[in-house]
Amino acid sequence: MAQSAVRFDQVRKNYGHQAVLQGVDLDIAAGTSFGLVGINGAGKTTLIKCLLDFCHVDSGRIEIFGTRHSESHARARLAFLPERFMPPYFLTGRDFLGYMLARDDRAASEDRVRAMFAALDLDAAALDKPVRSYSKGMTQKLGLAACLLAESELLILDEPMSGLDPLARARVKQLLRQLREQGRTLFFTSHALSDVEEICEYMVVLHQGRLRFSGSPQALMQDYARDSMEPAFLQCIGSDADG
Ligand SMILES: Nc1ncnc2c1ncn2[C@@H]1O[C@H](COP(=O)(O)OP(=O)(O)OP(=O)(O)O)[C@@H](O)[C@H]1O
Ligand SMILES: [Mg+2]
């Protein structure tokens, strides 16, 4: 059986009196494309913050490639794109990429950087412009470029398609599929259920602190006897918006 890339065992996280994660169990095998789905405020970003040890966990255990998440070297094998990606505004795109890669003892040749920009439909001229002059979508693409150039075994992307135009979304999906073919582990959140269906072999639905569903996108539709993701998801969370 494949090694676990990410494992949660009965993880609980409260903010004050609010129980955001109420005993979450998760086991994502290395090489899996995994999608974390849930409505606004469901706790997706909180779950990622717990995974990255950005916040305290009330109880339970989290492991990354078999190492406890609170050990700093547990995070050495991953790249992370936050949901609100804000690079230092005074850096150029090139400086930012250089800084991010150097932090992980990595580097990327000019050719690789330009190829990545082209793959993301980002004009190479932006490399020498300060990040403050980037549009929202350009900034998001820069963050994705930094994650993808790092060539980490595990990518954690919180709403990677946010702010991207349809062409860029198609390009990013293509890049994510390539990662999967290379055997890397992809962990992402998305509100675009069709993206999850296209990219992921494994997904969970987080709702009211618990995992309401765990399995493939096809199994979600089968379980609720629906032929598309949105009604299956709505039924899964017991929404009366489901027609
Ligand atoms: N630092 C914090 N302090 C207090 N409450 C918080 C904090 N961060 C998140 N929360 C609360 O935890 C809940 C889950 O928030 P979270 O950001 O994890 O949701 P999400 O699923 O990522 O939502 P979205 O789809 O909007 O990004 C929300 O009710 C939110 O208000
Ligand atoms: Mg979020």
Ligand nearest to the CA of 46: 1
Domain residue limits at 47:
1-77+153-163+182-243
Tell me, yes or no, whether 243 and 157 share the same domain: yes
Tell me, yes or no, whether 32 and 11 share the same domain: yes
Residue 55 in any domain: the answer is yes
| pLDDT, position 243 | 58
- 46 vs 225: CA distance, rounded Å: 31
How far is C-alpha 79 from the geometric centre of its chain's CA atoms? Answer: 9
Residue at a domain's end among 130, 152, 174: 152
| pLDDT, position 108 | 76
Contact yes or no for 175/119 (Cβ under 8 A): yes
Tell me, yes or no, whether 102 and 55 share the same domain: no
Tell me, yes or no, whether 203 and 130 share the same domain: no
- 83 vs 6: CA distance, rounded Å: 19
Substitution candidate for ligand 1 out of 39, 46, 81 with most atoms within 8 A of CB: 46
* Torsion sign across C-alpha atoms 236, 42, 157, 159: positive
pLDDT tens for 93-113 read 999 999 888 877 777 788 999
Number of domains into which the chain is organized: 2
Going by C-beta distance under 8 Å and a sequence separation of 6 or more, which residues neighbour residue 4? 27, 28, 29, 30, 63, 65, 66
Return the residue whose CA atom lies nearest to atom 9 of ligand 1: 46
- Assign 40 to helix, strand or coil: coil
Token pair 């090694």 is found at 3
Tell me, yes or no, whether 157 and 237 share the same domain: yes
Tell me, yes or no, whether 69 and 94 share the same domain: no
Return the residue whose CA atom lies nearest to atom 4 of ligand 1: 15
Residue 62 in any domain: the answer is yes
pLDDT tens for 109-148 read 889 999 999 999 999 999 999 999 999 999 999 999 999 9
Rg of the chain's alpha carbons, rounded to an integer? 18
pLDDT 10s per residue in the chain (243 long)? 679 999 999 999 999 999 999 999 999 999 999 999 999 999 999 999 999 999 999 999 999 999 999 998 888 889 999 999 999 999 999 999 998 888 777 777 889 999 999 999 999 999 999 999 999 999 999 999 999 999 899 999 999 999 999 999 999 999 999 999 999 999 999 999 999 999 999 999 999 999 999 999 999 999 999 999 999 999 999 986 755
Residue type at position 158: D
Token pair 């990040």 is found at 131
How far is C-alpha 242 from the geometric centre of its chain's CA atoms? Answer: 27
Tell me, yes or no, whether 157 and 62 share the same domain: yes
Tell me, yes or no, whether 70 and 189 share the same domain: yes
Residue at a domain's end among 112, 130, 152: 152
Ligand 1 centre to CA of 225 (Å) is 31
Tell me, yes or no, whether 98 and 143 share the same domain: yes
Task: Pull the structure tokens for residue 24.
Answer: 């979450």
| pLDDT, position 153 | 95
Substitution candidate for ligand 1 out of 36, 44, 190, 208 with most atoms within 8 A of CB: 44
Tell me, yes or no, whether 242 and 133 share the same domain: no
Tell me, yes or no, whether 102 and 66 share the same domain: no
- The CATH number of residue 159's host domain is 3.40.50.300
